[in-house]
Amino acid sequence: MAGATREADERWMREAISAARRAAREHDEVPVGACVVDAGGALLAVAGNRTRTDCDPTAHAEVVALREAARRAGNFRLNGATVYSTVEPCAMCAGALVQARVRRLVYGARDERAGAVESIFRVCDNSSLNHRIELTPGVLEADCRELMREFFRARRVKEGMRGEG
Active site residues: 62
Pairing relationship of beta strands 43-48 and 82-87 according to DSSP bridges:
unpaired
Burial class, 112, CB count within 10 angstroms (exposed 0-12 / middle 13-18 / buried 19+): exposed
Spatial CA neighbour of 68 closest among 83, 90, 88: 83
Pairing relationship of beta strands 43-48 and 33-37 according to DSSP bridges:
antiparallel
